[in-house]
Amino acid sequence: MAAASMVFTDCSSPAAARLLQRTTPLLLRTAQNAVVFPRRLLNPPRSLSIHSSSSSPSQLSSASIVNEKLEKSDTKLEIVNKRLDGKKVAEKIRGEIAEEVLRMKDAIGVVPGLAVILVGDREESATYVSKKKEACEVVGITSFEVHLPENATEQKVLEAISGFNEDPAVHGILVQLPLPRHMDEQNILNAVSSEKDVDGFHPLNIGCLAMRGREPFFVPCTPKGCIELLHRYDIPIKGKRAVVIGRSNIVGMPVALLLQREDATVSIVHSRTKNPEELIKQADIVIAAVGQANMVKGSWVKPGAVVIDVGINPIEDKTKRSGFRLVGDVCYKEAKEIASAITPVPGGVGPMTIAMLLTNTLISAKRIHNFH
């Protein structure tokens, strides 16, 4: 495919997220002025179906965490066969979260809570929500769910969000996408309190992320997972040249901002970029997030570069029971021969996204309750 004809899409769309799972009141506050919501939702609207679940201490695994930043031990993971193993790193992070959740419960009697709002009966969305609930159970986080019918009004969704905003047992809120077409997605997402916006997409959080000297309450989960992978493998970012392929609000834009915060020199390649392969070949770190199968060829990769592949794309494969297999935005076999390290698809960035969602929920609970 010629560079001029490349089509850039958003690889982190809800559809892509669902494919991954098959395989494995608005508050304008600064991030330094957190608000604690004192009132629990006692009488939710009758049309809502609210469920909650929590796990027992016996389900919690051990690890080492010393503060709300979820600090790791000094032991860095070793890169084996050039593979940045997101699944392995995510498992380690879940262990760390589990022990900290248990420590918090024992010390102050508080268990972090994550609320998910699901609208409609899309099987894929329901499966994705189920995966999030399972992840919560593993680490001991209480999960809450509101399930509304497809024809629910936007007001009903806003009521559910308002209830969770004010519920002190809930420390993180996310609205499962996509929403029905008759709803204003931006209006709904903006209604989530910036202090419980564990997806990190509230305008206040993104704005703080973009500004020097400001700290957001939360960083979007997938971009945060990309940077965490680099940290866990002790891959230097400072002073390196990084190229982000894609400029979506979900991955491309926030991960570029995170790389800048790490003192990388950042370029963004998008659908209007001329000769993108020339820019990509100059990069020490490549983060691909465009949603186009095998777009980045091995010949585009600088020898010794580190490649983070956020893409998850189905391609036909008659040898598979499903009739398809999942690949990334980078041609893995080719790039692996050139790069010093690369994430596989699946098993790379995907598991890290869920791990960062749990991390954000824990951080929120600790901040709200001033627990260190």
Q: Which one of the listed residues 10, 72, 85, 132 is annotated catalytic? A: 132
Q: Which residues of 313-334 are buried (b: 16+ CB within 10 A; e: fewer)?
A: bbeeeeeeeeeeebbbbbbbeb
The DSSP call for residue 83 is B
Could you say which of 10, 133, 176, 196 is catalytic?
176
Q: Which helix (H) or strand (E) holds 316?
A: strand 313-316
What's the Cα-to-Cα distance from 23 to each of 108, 277, 292, 309, rounded to whole Å?
38, 30, 19, 16
User: Does residue 186 carry a catalytic annotation?
Assistant: no
Annotation marks residue 92 as catalytic = no
Q: How far apart are CA 232 and CA 353, in angstroms?
A: 15
Q: What letter would DSSP give residue 38?
A: -
Cα-based angle 344, 347, 349 (whole degrees, multiple of 5): 80
Residue 282 among the catalytic residues: no
* Cβ count within 10 A of residue 346: 21
Q: What is the CA radius of gyration of the chain?
A: 20
Amino acid found at 91: E
Reading the block at residue 319, the tokens are 């040898």
Angstrom distance (rounded) from CA 330 to CA 316: 17
Task: Give me the catalytic one of 199, 284, 309, 329.
Answer: 199
- Burial category of 342 from C-beta neighbours within 10 Å (exposed 0-12, middle 13-18, buried 19 and up): buried
Of 356, 367, 312, 338, nearest to 135 by C-alpha is 356
Q: How far apart are CA 160 and CA 321, in angstroms?
A: 39
Whether 54 and 87 have beta carbons less than 8 Å apart is answered as no
Q: Residue 230 carries which side chain, given as an amino acid letter? A: L
Give the residue numbers marked as catalytic: 132, 176, 199
